[in-house]
Amino acid sequence: MSDAPATILIFDSGVGGLTVYREVAAARPDAAYVYVADDAGFPYGNQPETVLIARIIDVVGSAIAEHAPDLVVIACNTASTLALADLRARFAVPFVGTVPAIKPACAQSKSKRIAVLGTQATVNREYTHALIREFAAGCEVGLVGSSHLAAYAEAELAGAPVNDAAIRAEIAPCFVAAGGKRTDTVVLACTHYPLLTTRFKANAPWPVDWLDPAPAIARRV
């Protein structure tokens, strides 16, 4: 038997998957890692579905052929909700995907009012609506699609942060107070967004729990 470490390939449209890599590497420090960022295709959120599916299959397939990983993590909500089934059907390697953490958010919310903050593609997709139907009984869920936050996260990591007003404008729809209840949990439904958590907290109108999916992904890996 080979003593070589397991190889885990982590894929995202850009640098957002680094938030997942951080948690996975802490859980499996014995593994070898390959990180694939499809910068040429970034951002994914506003592209046609058929184009994205073909691109994701091509890029991930090329990476699998080159690196022969033992496991692939699709560290992107848009890619997972769109192409995970196709990837699993096409390739023998096991996949761990990233989907909006609606079930745990509803379970932990005390006010039973949550927001799902993602790309336009993720919040509009039927996959996300199905999760709400299945797991959000008794919970009011606001879907908030952003066309800018993934790019803001890339800029933040590159040392060129956008101003507070731009952050506030993107997160403002998450915060709803009505009928004596106000939002107490925000699902970060894009792996780029945890890069901005400090900025979110500083610009939120009241404190909420910002739910990062990375720890759950690491447990699954």
- Hey, which residues are catalytic here? 76, 190
Rounded CA Rg of the chain: 17
CB 53 within 8 A of CB 78: no
Distance CA 110, CA 69 (A): 41
How many Cβ atoms from other residues are within 10 Å of residue 82's Cβ? Answer: 23
Q: Alpha carbon of 193 to those of 86, 153, 166, 177: distances in Å?
A: 25, 6, 14, 23
CB 51 within 8 A of CB 58: no
SS3 181: strand
